[in-house]
C-alpha cells in the first residue's frame, strides 16, 4: 500500500532536519546520503523518492533554517504589540550574537555554519543561502526604512552579526569569542539606534 502524501511530507521534513544538523556539524563534503538516511531511520533507496540530488537536499536544509531558527521561535512567543520592526531588529541582533546561539551548533544559522561549503556548492544551495541573507536583511530593513540607505545599513548589520559569529565560533579563546560578539553587537545596535 503506498504511503499517504502526509506521510511522505513528514518523511521529507525529517530527512531535511537530520541533514541540516549533520551539515552544521560536519559540513557538506563530510556527510553522505547514506549518513543522512541512516540518521533519519531510512535507507538510501528512499532518498530519491524525495530529492533528485544531495545538492537539492542541501539547498532545502539551508532554506529550512527560516522555519526552525531561535529568532522565529522567539518572535512566535511575542505578543502582537511587541512585534514592531525596531523591537524585532534589536531582538535579532541580541539573539544572533548570544551565548545561547553560539553554543547550539545543531541550530546554527547556515550563514555562520556553512559559508565555505556554500561558496563551493552549486547554484541551488547558493540561491538558498542568498534567500537566508535577504531574509535576515529584511528584518533590519523594516526597522531602518526601505530606502537605499536603509538597505545598505541593513546589510552592514548582517555582516556584523554573521562575521562576528563566524570569527567567534572559529576561535578557541573564550574571552576573545565574547569580545568579538560584544563588539559586533554594540556596532549593530548603534546603527539601529541612529534610525
The answer to whether 16 touches 66, Cβ cutoff 8 Å, is no
Q: Which domains can be identified in the chain, with CATH numbers?
A: 5-62 (1.10.10.60), 67-194 (1.10.357.10)
Give the HSE-up count for residue 43: Cα atoms under 13 Å, Cβ half-sphere.
Answer: 2
What are the grid coordinates assigned to 100, written together?
545561547
Q: Which three cell numbers stand for residue 178?
A: 565574547
DSSP 13-58: HHHHHHHHHHHHHH-STT--HHHHHHHTT--HHHHTTT-S-HHHHH
Residues 37-74: pLDDT tens digits? 999 999 998 899 999 999 999 999 888 877 667 777 77
**pLDDT tens by residue, 65-114:** 776 677 777 777 777 777 899 999 999 999 999 999 899 887 788 888 87
**How many Å separate Cα 39 from the centre of its chain?**
21
Amino acid at each position: 500500500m503506498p504511503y499517504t502524501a502526509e506521510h511522505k511530507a513528514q518523511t521529507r521534513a525529517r530527512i531535511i532536519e537530520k541533514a541540516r544538523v549533520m551539515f552544521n556539524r560536519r559540513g557538506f563534503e563530510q556527510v553522505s546520503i547514506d549518513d543522512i538516511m541512516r540518521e533519519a531511520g531510512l535507507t538510501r533507496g528512499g532518498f530519491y523518492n524525495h530529492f533528485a540530488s544531495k545538492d537539492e537536499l542541501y539547498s532545502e536544509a539551508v532554506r529550512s533554517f527560516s522555519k526552525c531558527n531561535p529568532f522565529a521561535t522567539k518572535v512566535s512567543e511575542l505578543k502582537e504589540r511587541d512585534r514592531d520592526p525596531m523591537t524585532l531588529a534589536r531582538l535579532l541582533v541580541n539573539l544572533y550574537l548570544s551565548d545561547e546561539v553560539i553554543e547550539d551548533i545543531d541550530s546554527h544559522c547556515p550563514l555562520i555554519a556553512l559559508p565555505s561549503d556554500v561558496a563551493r556548492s552549486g547554484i541551488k544551495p547558493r540561491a538558498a543561502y542568498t534567500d537566508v541573507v535577504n531574509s535576515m536583511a529584511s528584518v533590519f530593513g523594516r526597522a531602518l526604512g526601505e530606502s537605499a540607505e536603509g538597505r545598505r545599513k541593513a546589510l552592514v548589520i548582517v555582516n556584523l552579526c554573521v562575521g562576528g559569529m563566524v570569527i567567534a565560533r572559529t576561535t578557541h579563546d573564550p574571552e576573545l569569542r565574547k569580545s568579538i560578539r560584544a563588539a559586533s553587537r554594540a556596532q549593530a545596535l548603534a546603527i539601529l539606534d541612529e534610525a
